[in-house]
Amino acid sequence: MFAFNLFKSRKEIERELEISLRKKAVRDLLHDMQGTAPEEAARLVEKLKVYLQNDTLIPFDFRQKAFKRARVLECEANMRIADRLLFEAAALMDPAECYNRGRKLAESRTYFGKACLLGVDDDWKRAYQRLVETIMLSGRLRPANEAR
Amino acid sequence: MTATTELAWSTELSVGVDALDAQHRGLIHLINRFGREPIEMEEMAALLEKVIAYAARHFNDEEDWLLANAPHLLEHQIECHCRFITQAYEFADRFQCGEDVELRDRVHSFLCDWLQRHIREEDQRYCPARRAAGAL
């Protein structure tokens, strides 16, 4: 009467296996992004884009989730280094460290911009800005010849 | 200020560093485009992102110059740059959410005010350092 095909064909099984292998490759790539430097994270995002662009088997949903996750991880990488550099700059209170402090602040600001571009949340942005203001108000650097 | 207001470059806006002046002119051009061209919401969002990206590159160059010539003036400049980036991305987010087209006037007004303040006030702070560095 009714005949349900309970068994998958060899071709279907091979296709599913191939999809799961490709998904695993994407997961591994995302795993590698965790805790990396922003430059490395950006490189891995590019690698992921190329991988997914050349792929025709991975489902759309999975693809979207992978891109979203990659963006979050890249954003976190930028946040981490922006925070670290800002705290390092805040610790350099000695006027003799004027140059290094400025360099760290400028570097940190660059990563802050990248994190904003990648959609960092408003709370972090506000906290970052507050800390920059605090650094500016608490330890303004003066040129050696400026009167106090 | 309305969306029809156009910024114009004049020698009095010069900060005395050719590369930075050229970037300021580039920003004026982009901001005028934003206010002038009748474009869709998505295009507006893309153009705003372009303005922000251009400004970010300009900030990097400006900070590099300050770091090399007047590091004691850098902190205030960085604080101003952070404030602009935060506000500009807030507007960009609102564009992405598909807010009213009237937002364009507010954003254009914000960009015009910011650029004038940036050039006339913030960047004028490093005039003495520029003269000392012989850039004028």
Domain ranges across chain B: 16-133
What is the model's pLDDT at position A42? 95
Q: Å from B83 to nearest chain A CA? A: 7
Helix segments in B70-126, DSSP class H = 74-96, 103-117
Is residue A26 domain-resident?
Answer: yes
Does residue B81 belong to the interface with chain A, where contact is any CB pair within 8 Å? yes
**Two tokens, residue B15:** 């900060």
What is the model's pLDDT at position B55? 94
> pLDDT tens digit string along B89-123?
888 888 777 766 678 888 889 999 999 889 888 88
Is residue A54 domain-resident?
Answer: yes
Q: What radius of gyration, in Å, describes the C-alpha atoms of chain B? A: 15
Contact A46, A52 (CB under 8 A): no
Domain count, chain A: 1
Amino acid (1-letter code) at residue B2: T
Is residue A78 domain-resident?
Answer: yes
Q: Å from A19 to nearest chain B CA? A: 33
* CA nearest to A116 within chain B: B89
What is the model's pLDDT at position B2? 45
C-alpha angle B84/B87/B92, rounded to 5°? 115
Is residue A4 domain-resident?
Answer: no
What is the model's pLDDT at position B24? 92
Determine the structural domain holding residue A118 and report its residue range.
12-138
CA A18, CA B22: separation in Å to the nearest integer? Answer: 53
Does A105 sit within 8 Å of B78, measured CB to CB? yes
Is residue A67 domain-resident?
Answer: yes
What is the model's pLDDT at position A148? 46
For domain B16-133, the CATH superfamily is Hemerythrin-like (1.20.120.50)
Task: Write out chain A's pLDDT in tens, 148 residues.
Answer: 555 666 778 888 899 999 999 999 999 999 999 999 999 999 999 999 999 999 889 999 999 999 999 999 999 999 999 999 999 988 887 777 888 888 999 999 999 999 999 999 989 999 999 998 888 776 555 555 555 4
Is residue A7 domain-resident?
Answer: no
Does residue A68 belong to the interface with chain B, where contact is any CB pair within 8 Å? no
Look at phi and psi of residue B6 and say left if phi exceeds 0, alpha if psi is from -120 to 50, else beta: beta
CA A127, CA A124: separation in Å to the nearest integer? Answer: 5
Can you tell me which residue has the tokens 């507006």? B44
pLDDT along chain B (136 residues), means of 10: 69 83 92 81 83 92 88 86 91 77 83 90 76 58
Query: Which residue among B74, B82, B83 sits closest to A102, beta carbon to beta carbon?
Result: B74
**ipTM for this prediction:** 0.77
